[in-house]
Amino acid sequence: MDLSLGEEQEAIDELFRGLLSKECPPEVVRDAEPLGFDARLWATLAGAGAAGMALPGNTGGGGLSLLEAALLAEHVGRHLAPVPFIEHTVAGRLLATLEPGAAALEALAAGERIATLALQPAHEGTARLVPGGAVADVVLALEGDTVVCCETASPGSGPANLASSPLADRALGGARSLASGAAAGRAYTRALDEWRALTASTLVGVAGGALDLGLAYVKEREQFGVPIGSFQAIQHGLAEVAVQLDGARLLARKAAWAFDQDPDDATRLAGMALLFCAETAQLAAARSLHYHGGYGFSLEYDVQLYYRRAKGWPLAIDAPTREYRRLADVVLGPRGEA
Protein backbone atom coordinates (compact mmCIF):
# COMPACT_ATOMS: atom_id res chain seq x y z
CA MET A 1 0.00 0.00 0.00
CA ASP A 2 1.36 3.40 -1.05
CA LEU A 3 -0.02 6.35 0.95
CA SER A 4 2.13 8.99 -0.70
CA LEU A 5 0.03 11.72 -2.31
CA GLY A 6 -0.52 11.82 -6.05
CA GLU A 7 -0.15 14.94 -8.16
CA GLU A 8 -3.83 15.90 -7.90
CA GLN A 9 -3.85 15.26 -4.15
CA GLU A 10 -0.73 17.40 -3.71
CA ALA A 11 -2.51 20.19 -5.57
CA ILE A 12 -5.59 19.91 -3.33
CA ASP A 13 -3.40 19.89 -0.22
CA GLU A 14 -1.48 22.97 -1.37
CA LEU A 15 -4.65 24.84 -2.37
CA PHE A 16 -6.39 24.50 0.96
CA ARG A 17 -3.22 24.95 2.99
CA GLY A 18 -2.72 28.35 1.37
CA LEU A 19 -6.39 29.30 1.46
CA LEU A 20 -6.91 28.59 5.14
CA SER A 21 -3.56 30.12 6.11
CA LYS A 22 -4.77 33.34 4.51
CA GLU A 23 -8.46 33.30 5.34
CA CYS A 24 -8.53 31.75 8.81
CA PRO A 25 -6.10 33.44 11.21
CA PRO A 26 -6.81 33.09 14.95
CA GLU A 27 -8.84 36.31 14.88
CA VAL A 28 -11.45 34.60 12.69
CA VAL A 29 -11.69 31.70 15.13
CA ARG A 30 -12.11 34.04 18.08
CA ASP A 31 -14.69 36.22 16.33
CA ALA A 32 -16.78 33.12 15.50
CA GLU A 33 -17.13 32.16 19.17
CA PRO A 34 -19.29 31.09 20.89
CA LEU A 35 -21.38 29.78 17.97
CA GLY A 36 -18.38 28.37 16.10
CA PHE A 37 -19.44 29.33 12.58
CA ASP A 38 -18.14 31.92 10.13
CA ALA A 39 -20.45 32.34 7.13
CA ARG A 40 -17.87 34.30 5.12
CA LEU A 41 -15.25 31.57 5.55
CA TRP A 42 -17.79 28.91 4.59
CA ALA A 43 -18.63 30.83 1.41
CA THR A 44 -14.94 31.17 0.59
CA LEU A 45 -14.33 27.44 1.01
CA ALA A 46 -17.45 26.60 -0.97
CA GLY A 47 -16.22 28.87 -3.77
CA ALA A 48 -13.03 26.81 -3.87
CA GLY A 49 -15.05 23.61 -4.21
CA ALA A 50 -14.77 22.34 -0.64
CA ALA A 51 -18.50 21.93 0.06
CA GLY A 52 -19.04 19.41 -2.72
CA MET A 53 -15.59 17.96 -3.27
CA ALA A 54 -16.52 14.48 -2.01
CA LEU A 55 -20.08 14.44 -3.36
CA PRO A 56 -20.84 12.52 -6.58
CA GLY A 57 -20.23 14.32 -9.85
CA ASN A 58 -23.86 13.92 -10.98
CA THR A 59 -24.96 16.14 -8.08
CA GLY A 60 -22.61 18.95 -9.02
CA GLY A 61 -19.95 17.68 -6.64
CA GLY A 62 -16.32 16.98 -7.33
CA GLY A 63 -16.59 13.20 -7.18
CA LEU A 64 -13.40 12.93 -5.11
CA SER A 65 -12.68 10.25 -2.55
CA LEU A 66 -12.75 10.49 1.22
CA LEU A 67 -8.95 10.69 1.20
CA GLU A 68 -9.04 14.02 -0.65
CA ALA A 69 -11.60 15.27 1.84
CA ALA A 70 -9.29 14.15 4.66
CA LEU A 71 -6.52 16.36 3.28
CA LEU A 72 -8.77 19.41 3.61
CA ALA A 73 -10.01 18.21 7.01
CA GLU A 74 -6.45 18.30 8.34
CA HIS A 75 -6.11 21.96 7.38
CA VAL A 76 -9.53 22.71 8.88
CA GLY A 77 -8.17 21.33 12.14
CA ARG A 78 -4.81 23.06 11.95
CA HIS A 79 -6.52 26.44 11.64
CA LEU A 80 -9.53 25.55 13.85
CA ALA A 81 -11.72 26.70 10.97
CA PRO A 82 -15.24 27.49 12.24
CA VAL A 83 -17.08 25.64 9.46
CA PRO A 84 -19.08 22.36 9.54
CA PHE A 85 -17.05 20.74 6.75
CA ILE A 86 -17.02 17.22 8.26
CA GLU A 87 -20.74 17.00 9.02
CA HIS A 88 -21.73 18.60 5.71
CA THR A 89 -19.58 16.17 3.75
CA VAL A 90 -20.76 12.95 5.40
CA ALA A 91 -24.42 14.02 5.42
CA GLY A 92 -24.27 15.00 1.75
CA ARG A 93 -22.70 11.67 0.82
CA LEU A 94 -25.36 9.77 2.79
CA LEU A 95 -28.17 11.73 1.13
CA ALA A 96 -26.66 11.08 -2.31
CA THR A 97 -26.51 7.35 -1.51
CA LEU A 98 -30.08 7.00 -0.25
CA GLU A 99 -31.82 9.58 -2.44
CA PRO A 100 -29.67 10.26 -5.54
CA GLY A 101 -32.27 12.59 -7.00
CA ALA A 102 -32.73 14.74 -3.90
CA ALA A 103 -33.45 18.34 -4.86
CA ALA A 104 -31.13 19.63 -2.13
CA LEU A 105 -27.99 17.94 -3.44
CA GLU A 106 -26.93 20.59 -5.97
CA ALA A 107 -27.32 23.34 -3.38
CA LEU A 108 -25.32 21.27 -0.90
CA ALA A 109 -22.55 20.69 -3.45
CA ALA A 110 -22.37 24.44 -4.06
CA GLY A 111 -22.37 25.21 -0.34
CA GLU A 112 -25.56 27.26 -0.69
CA ARG A 113 -27.17 25.03 1.92
CA ILE A 114 -25.56 23.19 4.83
CA ALA A 115 -26.24 19.58 5.78
CA THR A 116 -25.41 17.67 8.91
CA LEU A 117 -25.71 14.20 10.40
CA ALA A 118 -27.10 13.37 13.84
CA LEU A 119 -24.48 11.09 15.38
CA GLN A 120 -26.90 9.47 17.83
CA PRO A 121 -30.32 7.95 17.07
CA ALA A 122 -33.19 10.36 17.56
CA HIS A 123 -35.23 10.14 20.74
CA GLU A 124 -38.92 11.03 20.83
CA GLY A 125 -38.71 12.87 17.53
CA THR A 126 -35.64 14.95 18.39
CA ALA A 127 -32.00 14.55 17.42
CA ARG A 128 -29.88 15.66 20.37
CA LEU A 129 -26.72 17.78 20.25
CA VAL A 130 -26.29 17.46 16.50
CA PRO A 131 -22.84 18.73 15.36
CA GLY A 132 -23.41 21.60 12.98
CA GLY A 133 -27.07 21.51 13.99
CA ALA A 134 -27.11 25.19 14.89
CA VAL A 135 -26.33 26.24 11.32
CA ALA A 136 -27.56 23.40 9.05
CA ASP A 137 -30.89 23.45 7.23
CA VAL A 138 -30.70 19.80 6.11
CA VAL A 139 -30.49 17.25 8.93
CA LEU A 140 -30.16 13.50 8.41
CA ALA A 141 -30.86 11.24 11.38
CA LEU A 142 -31.69 7.68 12.35
CA GLU A 143 -35.18 7.37 13.82
CA GLY A 144 -35.90 3.81 14.86
CA ASP A 145 -34.75 1.73 11.90
CA THR A 146 -35.34 4.55 9.40
CA VAL A 147 -32.96 7.19 8.07
CA VAL A 148 -34.89 10.45 7.74
CA CYS A 149 -34.15 13.85 6.23
CA CYS A 150 -35.51 17.00 7.81
CA GLU A 151 -35.27 20.28 5.89
CA THR A 152 -36.02 23.23 8.15
CA ALA A 153 -34.43 26.57 8.90
CA SER A 154 -31.37 26.45 11.12
CA PRO A 155 -31.86 27.79 14.65
CA GLY A 156 -28.69 29.89 14.54
CA SER A 157 -27.86 29.12 18.16
CA GLY A 158 -27.16 26.23 20.47
CA PRO A 159 -25.95 25.37 23.97
CA ALA A 160 -22.57 26.61 25.15
CA ASN A 161 -19.88 23.95 24.96
CA LEU A 162 -16.17 23.53 25.60
CA ALA A 163 -15.12 23.61 21.94
CA SER A 164 -17.42 26.46 20.85
CA SER A 165 -19.01 24.13 18.30
CA PRO A 166 -22.39 24.82 16.61
CA LEU A 167 -24.19 21.97 18.40
CA ALA A 168 -27.97 22.04 18.65
CA ASP A 169 -30.97 19.82 19.26
CA ARG A 170 -33.10 19.44 16.13
CA ALA A 171 -36.77 18.46 16.07
CA LEU A 172 -37.54 16.06 13.21
CA GLY A 173 -41.19 16.94 12.67
CA GLY A 174 -42.09 16.70 8.99
CA ALA A 175 -38.99 14.68 8.12
CA ARG A 176 -39.26 12.36 5.14
CA SER A 177 -38.08 8.77 5.11
CA LEU A 178 -35.06 7.96 2.97
CA ALA A 179 -34.65 4.24 3.75
CA SER A 180 -35.61 1.68 6.38
CA GLY A 181 -34.38 -1.64 7.65
CA ALA A 182 -30.98 -3.25 7.35
CA ALA A 183 -29.91 -1.29 4.28
CA ALA A 184 -30.65 1.99 6.02
CA GLY A 185 -28.71 0.85 9.10
CA ARG A 186 -25.67 -0.06 7.02
CA ALA A 187 -25.70 3.28 5.18
CA TYR A 188 -26.05 5.21 8.43
CA THR A 189 -23.25 3.21 10.08
CA ARG A 190 -20.97 3.90 7.12
CA ALA A 191 -21.71 7.63 7.43
CA LEU A 192 -20.75 7.51 11.11
CA ASP A 193 -17.50 5.78 10.19
CA GLU A 194 -16.80 8.44 7.56
CA TRP A 195 -17.35 11.05 10.28
CA ARG A 196 -14.85 9.23 12.50
CA ALA A 197 -12.25 9.08 9.72
CA LEU A 198 -12.59 12.74 8.71
CA THR A 199 -12.65 13.92 12.32
CA ALA A 200 -9.44 11.94 12.90
CA SER A 201 -7.76 13.97 10.16
CA THR A 202 -9.13 17.16 11.68
CA LEU A 203 -7.58 16.20 15.02
CA VAL A 204 -4.25 15.58 13.27
CA GLY A 205 -4.47 19.20 12.19
CA VAL A 206 -5.31 20.32 15.72
CA ALA A 207 -2.26 18.45 17.02
CA GLY A 208 -0.03 20.00 14.35
CA GLY A 209 -1.26 23.50 15.10
CA ALA A 210 -0.79 23.04 18.85
CA LEU A 211 2.72 21.68 18.31
CA ASP A 212 3.62 24.67 16.13
CA LEU A 213 2.49 27.05 18.88
CA GLY A 214 4.52 25.18 21.48
CA LEU A 215 7.64 25.16 19.32
CA ALA A 216 7.38 28.87 18.61
CA TYR A 217 6.90 29.73 22.28
CA VAL A 218 9.78 27.68 23.68
CA LYS A 219 12.13 29.33 21.19
CA GLU A 220 11.14 32.78 22.43
CA ARG A 221 10.63 32.34 26.18
CA GLU A 222 13.88 32.60 28.15
CA GLN A 223 14.77 31.31 31.58
CA PHE A 224 18.21 31.48 33.21
CA GLY A 225 19.33 33.53 30.23
CA VAL A 226 18.55 30.91 27.55
CA PRO A 227 15.45 29.87 25.57
CA ILE A 228 13.50 27.22 27.46
CA GLY A 229 13.52 25.16 24.28
CA SER A 230 17.18 24.41 25.00
CA PHE A 231 16.17 22.39 28.07
CA GLN A 232 16.35 18.68 27.39
CA ALA A 233 13.08 17.86 29.16
CA ILE A 234 11.16 20.23 26.90
CA GLN A 235 12.94 18.97 23.79
CA HIS A 236 12.04 15.39 24.66
CA GLY A 237 8.43 16.31 25.38
CA LEU A 238 7.95 18.02 22.03
CA ALA A 239 9.83 15.28 20.16
CA GLU A 240 7.45 12.71 21.61
CA VAL A 241 4.50 14.71 20.25
CA ALA A 242 6.12 15.02 16.83
CA VAL A 243 6.70 11.27 16.55
CA GLN A 244 3.16 10.42 17.68
CA LEU A 245 1.79 13.00 15.24
CA ASP A 246 3.49 11.28 12.31
CA GLY A 247 1.83 8.01 13.28
CA ALA A 248 -1.55 9.68 13.74
CA ARG A 249 -1.39 11.27 10.30
CA LEU A 250 -0.52 7.95 8.67
CA LEU A 251 -3.37 6.15 10.45
CA ALA A 252 -5.90 8.88 9.64
CA ARG A 253 -5.00 8.83 5.96
CA LYS A 254 -5.10 5.05 5.84
CA ALA A 255 -8.57 5.12 7.41
CA ALA A 256 -9.84 7.55 4.77
CA TRP A 257 -8.13 5.55 2.01
CA ALA A 258 -9.83 2.35 3.16
CA PHE A 259 -13.34 3.53 2.31
CA ASP A 260 -12.54 3.22 -1.39
CA GLN A 261 -9.71 0.70 -1.39
CA ASP A 262 -10.35 -1.66 1.54
CA PRO A 263 -13.99 -1.18 2.64
CA ASP A 264 -14.08 -4.35 4.72
CA ASP A 265 -11.53 -2.79 7.09
CA ALA A 266 -12.85 0.77 7.01
CA THR A 267 -14.91 0.51 10.21
CA ARG A 268 -11.99 -0.80 12.26
CA LEU A 269 -9.53 1.75 10.88
CA ALA A 270 -11.92 4.67 11.31
CA GLY A 271 -12.48 3.81 14.98
CA MET A 272 -8.77 3.35 15.61
CA ALA A 273 -7.94 6.60 13.85
CA LEU A 274 -10.48 8.67 15.77
CA LEU A 275 -9.28 7.43 19.15
CA PHE A 276 -5.56 7.62 18.45
CA CYS A 277 -5.78 11.03 16.78
CA ALA A 278 -7.88 12.36 19.66
CA GLU A 279 -5.23 11.19 22.12
CA THR A 280 -2.53 12.79 19.96
CA ALA A 281 -4.35 16.11 19.72
CA GLN A 282 -4.93 16.20 23.46
CA LEU A 283 -1.29 15.33 24.18
CA ALA A 284 -0.02 18.03 21.81
CA ALA A 285 -2.38 20.68 23.14
CA ALA A 286 -1.78 19.81 26.80
CA ARG A 287 1.99 19.77 26.42
CA SER A 288 2.04 23.03 24.49
CA LEU A 289 -0.21 24.64 27.09
CA HIS A 290 2.03 23.34 29.88
CA TYR A 291 5.16 24.81 28.28
CA HIS A 292 3.40 28.16 28.05
CA GLY A 293 3.28 28.13 31.84
CA GLY A 294 0.55 30.25 33.39
CA TYR A 295 0.04 32.03 30.07
CA GLY A 296 -1.35 28.82 28.64
CA PHE A 297 -4.51 29.21 30.70
CA SER A 298 -5.02 32.81 29.59
CA LEU A 299 -7.66 33.58 26.97
CA GLU A 300 -5.23 35.99 25.31
CA TYR A 301 -3.05 33.08 24.15
CA ASP A 302 -4.13 30.94 21.20
CA VAL A 303 -3.04 27.63 22.71
CA GLN A 304 -6.24 27.46 24.78
CA LEU A 305 -8.24 27.46 21.53
CA TYR A 306 -6.49 24.25 20.50
CA TYR A 307 -6.74 22.70 23.95
CA ARG A 308 -10.52 23.18 24.09
CA ARG A 309 -11.12 21.76 20.63
CA ALA A 310 -8.81 18.81 21.16
CA LYS A 311 -10.96 17.93 24.17
CA GLY A 312 -14.35 18.86 22.80
CA TRP A 313 -14.50 17.84 19.13
CA PRO A 314 -14.18 14.04 19.65
CA LEU A 315 -16.96 14.11 22.27
CA ALA A 316 -19.55 14.94 19.61
CA ILE A 317 -20.01 11.24 18.87
CA ASP A 318 -19.58 9.73 22.36
CA ALA A 319 -17.41 9.43 25.44
CA PRO A 320 -13.99 7.88 24.69
CA THR A 321 -14.64 4.92 26.99
CA ARG A 322 -17.71 3.92 24.99
CA GLU A 323 -15.86 4.43 21.70
CA TYR A 324 -13.12 2.10 22.95
CA ARG A 325 -15.73 -0.53 23.88
CA ARG A 326 -17.37 -0.17 20.46
CA LEU A 327 -14.00 -0.61 18.75
CA ALA A 328 -13.27 -3.67 20.87
CA ASP A 329 -16.55 -5.19 19.68
CA VAL A 330 -15.56 -4.45 16.07
CA VAL A 331 -12.13 -6.03 16.45
CA LEU A 332 -12.88 -8.91 18.82
CA GLY A 333 -16.58 -9.51 18.28
CA PRO A 334 -19.55 -8.47 20.44
CA ARG A 335 -19.25 -9.08 24.15
CA GLY A 336 -21.22 -12.00 25.53
CA GLU A 337 -23.54 -11.79 28.50
CA ALA A 338 -21.73 -11.81 31.86
Q: pLDDT tens digit string along 191-217?
A: 999 999 999 999 999 999 999 999 999
CB 239 within 8 A of CB 284: no
- 48, 177 contact by CB (below 8 A): no
pTM of the model as a whole:
0.95
> What average pLDDT does the structure give for the chain?
95
Pairing mode, strands 138-143 and 115-117: parallel
- Summarised one tens digit per residue, pLDDT across range 235-275 is 999 999 999 999 999 999 999 999 999 999 999 999 999 99
Do 149 and 109 touch, CB atoms closer than 8 A? Answer: no
pLDDT tens digits for 266-305? 999 999 999 999 999 999 999 999 999 988 888 999 999 9
pLDDT value for 26: 97
pLDDT for residue 334: 86
Domains, the chain, ordered by start? 185-332 (1.20.140.10)
Give yes or no for a contact between 66 and 266, defined as CB atoms under 8 angstroms apart. Answer: no
Helix (H, G, I), strand (E, B) or coil at 117: strand
Q: Is the pLDDT at 338 greater than 50, yes or no?
A: no
Q: Is 277 left (phi over 0), alpha (psi -120 to 50) or beta?
A: alpha
